Amino acid sequence: MAKRKVQHATEPVANGAPAKKAKAEQPAPKPKTASSSTSQQQHVSTSPSTSTTTTTIQIIAGSYDRILHGITCAIEPPSSSSKTSTPKPAVSFADTFLFTAHTSAIRCLALSPPSAPVPGQSQKVMLATGATDERVNVYNLSAHPPSASSRSAAALLSSAGAPRPILENSSNRELGTLLHHASTVTQLAFPTRGKLLSSSEDSTVAVTRTRDWSLLSSIKSPVPKLVGRPSGDTAAHGAGPRGVNSFAVHPSLKLMISVGKGERCMRLWNLVTGKKAGVLNFGREVLDAIGEGRVGMGEGRRVVWGGAGEEGEEFAVAFDRDVVVFGMDSRPRCRVMGGERTKVHEIEYVKLGQGEEESLLAVSTEDGRVLFFSTRKGDLTEEEEEKDGKKAVLPNAKLVAQLGGKEAGVTSRIKDFKFLAVDGQDGERFWYVVTGSSDGKLRVWKLEAKDLAAAEGKKQVGTLLGAYDTQNRITCVEAFVMIARPEGLEDSEDEFEDEVEAEDAAESGDESD
């Protein structure tokens, strides 16, 4: 049967190779190794879990060293015979894949929602990787933990002297490469399973249809005028800084916000028409308040949408050393970091419950912490006076708690993190938190919602369950809680082929996504 390949798409797609098995290599990775992995977005990771079953997390990490890591983390429930009051779960790591995915540093990852469950077939997740080599690689990966036979083989490999168990999955496939951009790929996102959005330093956001990997449209951001002399790595020699740093799609899928290099503004886009909907300047007073007016470029480096609280929907824009929260009226509500003058790397809203009204803003920092801030109006605090005698322009968000840092033995910058929400049998929410540091370590934490609710100030929260040393400088992380494998389902070549055809037929009517 025919296999789905990326070269079936139109001209922007190239270098599509036949679907290949994912290989797991424990020795030094080689560029020609064909493999793939799977991961999901945060909303995919809310699968129920019980305290009596093993939870398996699939972790994917990109690195400056071009290496793509795939690791499974099996979290077994604590033994009932444990004598401690709060027994710690047993955690084990295994390599799913390890190979050179790009010819230069990997910058971003994205995971799609899983495919719809079909009796007798496994569910799949699409993974996209972007790098400074202008390419977007795409993979189709299994959403289920490795089969019993794979685990037995892994145990044999481990006992034979391999540093770690190796859990290959025959359903993981490499689909090919997308060549929609002419510069570094800066961000990837699957707003739905049928669409992939990718931004680049070529000042475009490409919209790709995943059914046939064809380029549907390319949203072009204006190139900013050159002002002054560019410095550092903000631009090529003799050129000005340009490109889309980050974008965020509204949950309605009709609106998108983007921030770019060399621009002290954010741009609104109508995704229905693909046209510009407006330009919102950050303002000199706001930039001066967060220190960007004096020493920074004043450009937004990351933007994310938040939940709908009592004051309405909001979104956050991260700068070099601070974060500003805006309302849907585009007016700044508060700044986040306040006195925490450390570099910001990643931001994300964390929902405290099933509803959209309660959430905290999580921020990872240069000094190895993930800080949690409340942006509710009642939790904002005004600074009495600035150094020059003027009243503060923006109130400060309330620092609720922190995870990691020196107190937990983490001092290296946290480049990226993922929160995997789980609702236990008792109805209490908790998260498995995966953090990736530039020292090469992936850490898995457990964080209880009740701990965040009762936290105040710099209270340390979260329990470190385990760590995995990739021995590469991590740049980006994705993860998801794997879906329990249906009884009697085993991976096979024929099964993969049947699933691809069934999925293509089901997605043929997804043009309205």
Quick count: other Cβ atoms within 10 Å of Cβ 185? Answer: 29
Task: Work out whether the CA dihedral 36, 364, 366, 462 comes out positive or negative.
Answer: negative
Q: Report how far residue 21's alpha carbon sits from residue 66's, in angstroms, rounded to the nearest whole number.
A: 20
Collapse the DSSP code of 98 into the 3-class scheme (helix H, G, I; strand E, B; otherwise coil) and give the result: strand
Query: pTM for this one?
Result: 0.83
Q: Report how far residue 468's alpha carbon sits from residue 268's, in angstroms, rounded to the nearest whole number.
A: 40
Quick count: other Cβ atoms within 10 Å of Cβ 3? Answer: 15
Who's near 268: CB < 8 A, 6+ residues apart? Answer: 255, 256, 257, 276, 277, 278, 279, 280
- State the pLDDT at residue 121: 83
Q: 36-221+242-507: which CATH architecture?
A: 7 Propeller (2.130)
Q: Report how far residue 288's alpha carbon sits from residue 294's, in angstroms, rounded to the nearest whole number.
A: 7
Q: Residue 459: is it exposed, middle or buried by C-beta count within 10 angstroms (0-12/13-18/19+)?
A: middle
- State the pLDDT at residue 198: 97
The size of the chain, in residues, is 513
Tell me the DSSP string of 201-251.
TTSEEEEEETTTTEEEEEEEPPPPPP-S---TTSS-TTS---SEEEEEE-T
Which among 377, 487, 382, 478 is positioned nearest to 434, based on CA atoms? 478
Collapse the DSSP code of 5 into the 3-class scheme (helix H, G, I; strand E, B; otherwise coil) and give the result: coil
- State the pLDDT at residue 58: 96
Which among 246, 258, 264 is positioned nearest to 416, based on CA atoms? 246
- State the pLDDT at residue 273: 85
Q: Report how far residue 487's alpha carbon sits from residue 443's, in angstroms, rounded to the nearest whole number.
A: 31
Collapse the DSSP code of 42 into the 3-class scheme (helix H, G, I; strand E, B; otherwise coil) and give the result: helix
DSSP code, position 454? H
DSSP code, position 495? H
350 in Cβ contact with 334 (< 8 Å): no
- State the pLDDT at residue 158: 54
- State the pLDDT at residue 223: 80
- State the pLDDT at residue 172: 87
Who's near 326: CB < 8 A, 6+ residues apart? Answer: 314, 315, 316, 317, 332, 333
The residues that bridge with 20 in the sheet, in sequence order, are 174
Q: What is the mean pLDDT of each run of 10 residues along the chain (513 residues)?
A: 39 39 40 35 41 84 95 83 64 91 96 89 93 95 78 53 74 92 96 95 94 93 67 55 91 93 91 88 89 77 83 88 91 88 92 74 94 90 59 83 91 95 79 94 92 78 94 95 78 47 52 48
Q: Where are the domains of the chain?
A: 36-221+242-507
Q: Report how far residue 73's alpha carbon sits from residue 52's, in angstroms, rounded to the nearest whole number.
A: 16
Q: Residue 439: is it exposed, middle or buried by C-beta count within 10 angstroms (0-12/13-18/19+)?
A: middle
Which among 179, 148, 169 is positioned nearest to 70, based on CA atoms? 169
302 in Cβ contact with 286 (< 8 Å): no
Amino acid at 424: G
Q: Report how far residue 151's alpha carbon sits from residue 146's, in angstroms, rounded to the nearest whole number.
A: 7
Which among 270, 276, 277, 273 is positioned nearest to 255, based on CA atoms? 270
* Token pair belonging to 145: 């933990």
- State the pLDDT at residue 46: 40
- State the pLDDT at residue 392: 63
